Structure 1
Amino acid sequence: MEDYHWDHFTRSIFINAPRSKVFDAWTIPQQIETWFLEKADFADRYGKVRPKNERIKNDDKYNWKWWNYPVIEEGRVQTIDPEQRFIDFLFVGEKCPVRVLFKELGEKTLVQLSQSGIPRDDNSKVQIHMGCSQGWSFWMVNLKAWLEHGVILHEREEIPNIDEFEIMELINR
């Protein structure tokens, strides 16, 4: 698979909602904690944590706690477009730039997420490229379900004791 680009990927989804509503879901911590993360803390450059109902801003640092997964993701918001066309942030320990585009097409919004900067070693191909591309695909579908139908697909309650391999297999953790 020499032609495959392991250093980046793009995922897209149409959401039947106005761009402003979809943009809010990505940029207001209270909403992020509904469809995506158990806890999403954003702090300004002075370390002051933003209120959950306040839009995140350029250069905010974040701490994300995943649902039913013991990893805390730390990164930085690079750009929040004031026209609500895109957001840029650094992911995977600030190694991987992510851009989320929001294109309004009539009553729908096309959300296009691109992650780049993925190292090409075998571990990164599996853990970052495959893991993140599958993860983003699920979370984007979860966002669509929430905005269009008010339904959350991910598991919000603690998962019973099962070994780590089985936890990694859960698509709605």
Structure 2
Amino acid sequence: MSQLSFDCFNKKIYIKASKEKLYWCWGTEEGITSWFLESAIYTSPNGERRKPGENIQAGDSYTWKWHNWDGVEKGTVHMANGTDFMEISFTDSKVSVTLEDHDKAVLVTLKQHQIPTDEESRLNIHHGCSNGWTFWLANLKAYLEHGILLNETEFDLRNIPLSGFEFVNM
């Protein structure tokens, strides 16, 4: 991506943790629910549910549920190499996560791409997900480096109009 556009965006952050720990945070049910989701279910292509600590694999399907949102996201794992890269379908687009060692930290690069460019997708996927991933990557850093979570789990925000666009820690 050499210039900004509505069909993709990148988010990057250095996190002082091992690639193994970061991959666990992204690539297992146990990991992704420790800092990001209320629940996650990964199912193998033959219909078997993955164990909570088991790495996702290409061809798996997933069902995600967040705190403070009644919706459910369902998708497919396109690639997962078990060490430093994964790609999933996500909200009519794709999301990839790349982990790269840099001295005392790992550079986490999240790329959301193949985003439709109609007006609704520009608002909800490009703008909404870009803002959301910015928060969630900061939450992951806070969790791994300082042992705290920044997302709201105490107050129920689901009945507040536009809460998903206004609360920074949803």
TM-score, normalised by the number of residues in structure 2: 0.93
* 1:153 corresponding residue in structure 2: 150
Give the match's secondary structure for 1:69. coil
User: Which runs of structure 2 are paired with 1:19-168 in the superposition (5 Å)?
Assistant: 19-82=19-82, 84-92=83-91, 95-159=92-156, 162-168=159-165
Q: Do the aligned partners of residues 90 and 160 (structure 1) sit closer, same or farther apart at CA in structure 2, a change above 3 Å counting?
A: closer
Q: Does the CA-based 8 Å contact 2:57-2:81 persist in structure 1?
A: no
* 1:10 corresponding residue in structure 2: 10
Given residue 12 of structure 2, which amino acid in structure 1 is its aligned partner? Answer: S
In structure 1, C-alpha distance between the alignment counterparts of 2:14 and 2:158, rounded to whole Å: 36
In structure 2, C-alpha distance between the alignment counterparts of 1:85 and 1:30, rounded to whole Å: 18
Gaps of 5+ in 1: none
Give the match's secondary structure for 1:102. strand
Give CA-to-partner distance per residue, 1:137-159, whole Å, 9 cap, x none: 11111100011011011012351
Q: Percent of aligned positions with the same letter in both sequences?
A: 36
Q: Do the aligned partners of residues 127 and 161 (structure 1) sit closer, same or farther apart at CA in structure 2, a change above 3 Å counting?
A: closer
Give CA-to-partner distance per residue, 1:9-53, whole Å, 9 cap, x none: 000000011111111111121111010000011000122111212
In structure 1, C-alpha distance between the alignment counterparts of 2:86 and 2:81, rounded to whole Å: 6
Give CA-to-partner distance per residue, 1:41-85, whole Å, 9 cap, x none: 100012211121211111110000011011100001111114x12
In structure 2, C-alpha distance between the alignment counterparts of 1:35 and 1:107, rounded to whole Å: 22
